[in-house]
Structure 1
Amino acid sequence: MTDSSPVLAVVAPWLLEAAAVAGRAPALETLFWRGRRRKHLPESASRLYWHLFDRTPVDGDLPVGALCRYADTGEAFEGCWLKADPVHLVADRDRVMLTGTVTGLEFREIQSLVKSFNDLFGEDGWQLEAGTDGLRMRTPLSCAANTTPVDEVVGRDIHPLLPDGPDRLEWHRFLTELQMLLHGSPINEERDASGCVPVNSLWPWGAGELPRSVASPWGSVHTRDGFVTGLTRRGGGSVEAVPDSFDRLPNFGHRLLALPAPNSEGWELSMSFWEEQWFLPLVKAVRAQRLGRLLLYPGNGWEVTITSGRLRRFWRRPRPLKGAV
């Protein structure tokens, strides 16, 4: 990136799906259909960010857990770390379905879960801790595990998606013991009594050690995501808050903006907000050349490059985004 004019990368891997559900989004459609489109990137959000930080592609896990921990600590550490999302499992004949993550846990519930885990597994080299981006665990097993991100497991049988690799059997035994521990835990007894969904397992994913260094092409990164924060800080970059609108975004340098996904139940209302506060102002900024280049990453592997010249192609009429999903 040698061009001195401002470049903004907007990353929202949920965007096309939300737009398809919400209906028409004229400003976003203008950006997408008049920009130069290439469908060549990973569809996984974490692998997309990995690519945008100029990291070498890997076949196995990305070190999501380690980088989320680094985002909190800011200090180098050793060991293999993973994300450990609280989940609810339901047995169905010969299958065990992961129905979803359990959110909204109270601080005392999290502390109780962490203590119970460490009391049972700590002597064997396991460790569970709570961070800004949720729970994460250290494992004494090999970092060569192949895991599946929790959002790709929801609604599916967990058996073919359990951690694989050289320590596959050890992982399966560990998870069985963990589920037995949680089955009789005080927090789940309380949650059952109050009608709340119990936490009957943790889903481990994103195994890896902390990278020694990260070369970041971005001067500043606006994000709430722990993985992106860890990548940025490991590369010596500046992490800033995600502003409420484009007008509050500094207009200089090469910046990456990671837009947080709204609640899927409110995508139509959210899309109106994004249109008014972000996409329409972005169209105006590119047309006026206040932005030299806009890079849009709306999910499904798409990369869209938008310049003022591209927006003048009036013959490329915007149309619904359902066809791009």
Structure 2
Amino acid sequence: MKTLPSLTLYVPGLLGRRDLRASFRAEAATQDLGLLAWFLSRARAEPLAGGHHGGLCALCGLEAEEERALPLAALSRLGEEEGTPAGGCWLRADPVCLEADRDCVVLRDRVVPAPDQVDSLLALLNGHLAEEGLRLEASAPERWYLSLAQSRVPETWPLAHVLGQDIHPWMPAGTEGRRWRRLLNEIQMLLHDCDINHARRAEGSLPVTSLWPWGGGCLPPASSCPWSRLWGNDPLVRGLARWGGISHGTLPGDGDALLNELAGPSAHLVVEEGPWRETRLGEAEAWAAWLAAWQARWLAPLLAACRAGRLGGLALCDGAGRCYRLEGRWRRWWRRPRPFGDFL
């Protein structure tokens, strides 16, 4: 019997926010998501440990008791074009916009400064951080890193977890927590009145009002990864592929393009950016529109390939603890499709 390739798609934010279920269901009802509902109704549901990044790492054989304990910065740095220099530990320190909201401070969004603004901001902040023996570097306008000694890594929470939330419960903790809370305070004061932020506000762009530290840790010893190939554009995906010693591919534009890349018995993990930002910020209308477009570009051609006998299995994971796996000849074919809203 011919062995076929199988696909697992990792799509953070796929099934919305459970705490805002009513609004997400209402927006989902405005889109034709019947094909996605059909898939979820037929597939076998499986739990997947970890959160947004933790689930992805678990699929690649790297697990931790808590997502925040994973060395996401070191893995992400490994996936950058320049790779990771040997030794040391890494911390992401990404530019963000904080906003006061009544009695709390909310992490409103990530900020992507222009390249010339990045250079100026790094010069401003590194002039201050040098006193602490620290130096920021940017691999991309929205991805900044700090190299640290292992003993100086703070306990932090991923930006994807805190986006749209009050930051106070998620501030740096542990033995280095107090130092990092002080540093963030000083960084915010430096950024408050800088010329770049005046210019960004004048043009209607979000200012860079702080950095968000997250993902600290050292690169773990290399381990085997249970996939033939990882596909994705995030440097964390490339880093996991390099760490696991397997090949990596840039995410194609749609399911048909991906199918043309597959051959023989192989297992592929495909990592989408997903509508995680819209999900975290409660933007249900944008989330539903993203799903409808994704269903047409990805799910429709992949299910057609299953019907045509070109795929041996297809799974969807939502980055929030749930995977849905369709294997064999239309498993659970007798089940009547449920409304998509039932899965939110």
**Whole-angstrom CA distance in 1 between matches of 2:122 and 2:166:** 26
**Whole-angstrom CA distance in 1 between matches of 2:165 and 2:298:** 35
Do the aligned partners of residues 120 and 102 (structure 1) sit closer, same or farther apart at CA in structure 2, a change above 3 Å counting?
same
Give the structure 1 partner of residue 44 of structure 2.
36
Q: Does the aligned pair in 2 maintain the 1:71–1:233 contact within 8 Å?
A: yes
**Whole-angstrom CA distance in 1 between matches of 2:237 and 2:104:** 34
Give the structure 2 partner of residue 109 of structure 1.
117
Compare 73-82 and 168-177 and name the one that shifted more. Answer: 73-82
Do the aligned partners of residues 270 and 92 (structure 1) sit closer, same or farther apart at CA in structure 2, a change above 3 Å counting?
closer
**Whole-angstrom CA distance in 1 between matches of 2:199 and 2:234:** 31
User: Which amino acid counterpart does residue 91 of structure 1 have in structure 2?
Assistant: A
Q: Any unmatched runs of 5+ in structure 2?
A: 18-23, 279-284
**Whole-angstrom CA distance in 2 between matches of 1:268 and 1:164:** 36
**Whole-angstrom CA distance in 1 between matches of 2:303 and 2:201:** 50
Instruction: Give how far 1:315 is off.
Output: 2.4
Instruction: Give how far 1:244 is off.
Output: 1.7
Instruction: Give how far 1:201 is off.
Output: 0.5
**Whole-angstrom CA distance in 2 between matches of 1:223 and 1:211:** 21
Give the structure 1 partner of residue 176 of structure 2.
167
Report whether the alignment pairs 1:48 with 2:51.
no
Do the aligned partners of residues 255 and 143 (structure 1) sit closer, same or farther apart at CA in structure 2, a change above 3 Å counting?
farther
Q: Does the aligned pair in 2 maintain the 1:81–1:139 contact within 8 Å?
A: yes
Q: Does the aligned pair in 1 maintain the 2:35–2:295 contact within 8 Å?
A: yes
- What secondary structure sits across from 1:17 in the alignment? coil
Give the structure 2 partner of residue 261 of structure 1.
274
Q: Does the aligned pair in 2 maintain the 1:286–1:307 contact within 8 Å?
A: no
Give the structure 2 partner of residue 179 of structure 1.
188
**Whole-angstrom CA distance in 2 between matches of 1:99 and 1:179:** 15
Matched length: 320
Q: Does the aligned pair in 2 maintain the 1:289–1:308 contact within 8 Å?
A: no
Compare 212-221 and 105-114 and name the one that shifted more. Answer: 212-221
TM-score by length of 2: 0.84
Instruction: Give how far 1:316 is off.
Output: 0.8
Compare 12-21 and 250-259 and name the one that shifted more. Answer: 12-21
Report whether the alignment pairs 1:134 with 2:140.
no
**Whole-angstrom CA distance in 2 between matches of 1:64 and 1:70:** 10
User: Which amino acid counterpart does residue 28 of structure 2 have in structure 1?
Assistant: A
User: Which amino acid counterpart does residue 102 of structure 1 have in structure 2?
Assistant: V
Q: Does the aligned pair in 1 maintain the 2:61–2:224 contact within 8 Å?
A: yes
- What secondary structure sits across from 1:142 in the alignment? helix
Give the structure 2 partner of residue 193 of structure 1.
202
**Whole-angstrom CA distance in 1 between matches of 2:201 and 2:235:** 31
Do the aligned partners of residues 278 and 58 (structure 1) sit closer, same or farther apart at CA in structure 2, a change above 3 Å counting?
same
Give the structure 2 partner of residue 280 of structure 1.
300
Instruction: Give how far 1:53 is off.
Output: 0.5
Instruction: Give how far 1:173 is off.
Output: 1.0
Give the structure 2 partner of residue 310 of structure 1.
330
Give the structure 2 partner of residue 320 of structure 1.
339
Work out which of the residue numbers 9, 15, 26 in structure 1 matches 2:34. Answer: 26
Q: Does the aligned pair in 2 maintain the 1:294–1:306 contact within 8 Å?
A: yes
Deviation sequence 1:70-111 (CA, Å, 0-9, x none)? 1122344222212222122233565323222223x1111111
Q: Any unmatched runs of 5+ in structure 1?
A: none
Do the aligned partners of residues 317 and 299 (structure 1) sit closer, same or farther apart at CA in structure 2, a change above 3 Å counting?
farther
